Amino acid sequence: MPAPVRVEFPQEDIDALLKISKSRTIGTSYVDRARILLRKADGLSNNAIAEELQFNPKTVALWVNRYTNRSEGASMLEILRDAKGRGRKPKIKGGARIAVTTIACTDPKGLGYPEELWSKRLLAKALRENAEKLGFSSLSTICATTAYKILKESDVQPWRVQYYCEKRDPDFDSKMNNVLALYRVISQQFTWDFIKKVWRYTPDGQLQGIRVLSLDEKPGIQVLSSTSPVQNPVPVVLPGSGTELQVAANSVADLKTLLQKAVTVTKFDPKLYIPVRRKSKQASYGLGTGFVRSRRSLRRTKKKDYEYKRHGTVSLIGAMDLVTGHVFGDVTESHNSEAFIAFLMKIDAYYPKEDKIIIVLDNLKVHSSKRTREYLATVPGRFEFLFTPKHGSWLNMIEGFFGKLSRQLLRGINASSKDEITSRILKYLDQVNENPVVHHWTWGLDDLDPTLSYKTVTLLEDMG
């Protein structure tokens, strides 16, 4: 019998094959092929390898030849990978695959389905039902997995929705740059030369005579109260001398006995709380100094009944001084010109009469109504408006403050009347003004034309 043909394996290839053969995350076919080559590196013949590993000798010869005739620089995984053209030939190809993607890019209602978005199963069902109409009989047996694979090749995901903000204003860019130009002036602390020509400075270099505010409304704040008592979080501590009590127990039964004697305390120190890994589906217990937790005896979150009672809605109109951080706010039941004018009067009374007030605001009708213009005529030169472009209210800096207010105050709020929620909102604004925070705008300022200046709007002149 002729001696087996030896194949030279560099040490780095042997190390790579060993790593693949011991891997638990890679495909079993790669592992089997690595084992074949490792036995070949030991000097065994193809027939001996096939007999030992229970493979067909032709399979062993195939992968030995693949390694022997490998391309220069090919990695071990590339050598062990199936050659192109191997495997089951796809039945759906050509125009049929294009039809799958085309239908996925339409709305289901166009084919008579009530759904708004395609799911993989619904798309496969629609393709099967319309296969003959489309002229592709191969689609009559398509399944959801095959449809998904075809869409994945085209990077189409019709079951997902992404939202965007359409530029509905033909002058969107110019108006946006106008707002950004004002924000840039604020970020540079009003040091531009064209500002110095209009407003005067104090001896220490501070700007005098101009106020810049960001104004917006937050309508439809719901006043909701829970129909059942709200349950606050409840910490549990063993009775004894404070939180220094040593908890000693030798079994879960002992712990249960201790937990039955637990009492509620009002002061809770997270550092003394013992996080315990869950032992069963029923409860978990822990040993140590301080707090002992049981999933059945400790309420870690605030709990509210799903049912609630409505008490109507209120609207918040707010404005934020972009230089000092001071926030103005009024809570009203109606959202009309009278409320807006009353708010402007509140701002007017706050600042010195000789100051000019620039307000950044959106295109709400009450901001330019007839009654608003009539009021502005009574305070000539006092207010100047800088409107954000239509569908571009995100350029208004107070939107960020409204988001903060929603997270800290309005999320999950429980109020029994409009008066209660009004007082709580106004109290929140008072707390903010005790230590005001100046909001800074940075987006787009670096790309703005350095020679661009902002232009405010005088309603009486521009709108008649």
Give the whole-angstrom CA distance, residue 151 versus residue 130. 18
Q: What is the CATH number of the domain that holds 194?
A: 3.30.420.10
Contact 212, 245 (CB under 8 A): no
Residue 449 lies in a domain: yes
Give the whole-angstrom CA distance, residue 395 versus residue 388. 7
User: Do 53 and 195 fall into the same domain?
Assistant: no
Residue 159 lies in a domain: no
User: Do 73 and 99 fall into the same domain?
Assistant: no
User: Do 135 and 236 fall into the same domain?
Assistant: no
User: Do 294 and 326 fall into the same domain?
Assistant: no
User: Do 150 and 186 fall into the same domain?
Assistant: no
Give the whole-angstrom CA distance, residue 310 versus residue 224. 5
Contact 286, 276 (CB under 8 A): yes
Q: Which domain holds residue 282?
A: 231-303
* Residue type for position 93: K
Beta strands in 192-307 (DSSP E): 200-201, 207-208, 210-226, 236-237, 263-264
Residue 204 lies in a domain: yes
DSSP string, 329-353: EEEES--SHHHHHHHHHHHHHHS-T
Residue 99 lies in a domain: yes
**HEC string of 412-429?**
CCCCCCHHHHHHHHHHHH
pLDDT at residue 86, as a whole number: 65
What is the DSSP pairing of strand 210-226 with strand 263-264?
Answer: unpaired
pLDDT at residue 292, as a whole number: 42
User: Do 142 and 186 fall into the same domain?
Assistant: no
User: Do 218 and 235 fall into the same domain?
Assistant: no
* Residue type for position 205: G
Q: Residue 459: count other Cβ atoms within 10 Å of its Cβ.
A: 18
> In terms of Cα–Cα distance, which of 299, 294, 302 is closest to 228?
302
Helices (H) and strands (E) in the chain, counts: 17, 9
Q: Which two tokens stand for residue 443?
A: 């987006």
Give the whole-angstrom CA distance, residue 371 versus residue 384. 16
> In terms of Cα–Cα distance, which of 327, 352, 347, 328 is closest to 208?
352
- H or E element in which residue 387 lies: strand 383-387
Longest Cα pair distance anywhere in the chain, in angstroms?
A: 114
pLDDT at residue 143, as a whole number: 93
Q: Residue 353: count other Cβ atoms within 10 Å of its Cβ.
A: 8
Cβ-based neighbours of 458, under 8 Å, separated by 6 or more: 384, 385
Q: Which two tokens stand for residue 56?
A: 């067909």
C-alpha 33: how far from chain center: 44
Helix-strand-coil split of the chain, %, nearest 5 = 40, 15, 45
* Phi and psi angles of residue 295, each rounded to the nearest 5 degrees, phi first: -65, -20
* Residue type for position 76: M
Residue 409 lies in a domain: yes
Residues 434-457 pLDDT 10s: 999 888 898 999 888 888 888 876
Domain boundary among 80, 111, 136: 80
Residue 160 lies in a domain: no
pLDDT at residue 299, as a whole number: 59
Give the whole-angstrom CA distance, residue 226 versus residue 311. 11
Contact 202, 224 (CB under 8 A): no
User: Do 315 and 395 fall into the same domain?
Assistant: yes
User: Do 321 and 297 fall into the same domain?
Assistant: no
Bridge partners for 200 per DSSP: 208
User: Do 330 and 458 fall into the same domain?
Assistant: yes
Residue 89 lies in a domain: no
In the chain, how many domains are there?
A: 4
Residue 132 lies in a domain: yes
- H or E element in which residue 258 lies: helix 252-260
User: Do 148 and 290 fall into the same domain?
Assistant: no
User: Do 269 and 417 fall into the same domain?
Assistant: no
Cβ-based neighbours of 276, under 8 Å, separated by 6 or more: 284, 285, 286, 293
- H or E element in which residue 309 lies: strand 308-321
- pTM, two decimals, is 0.64
Residue numbers of the chain with a pLDDT score lower than 70: 1-5, 85-87, 189-208, 234-300, 457-464
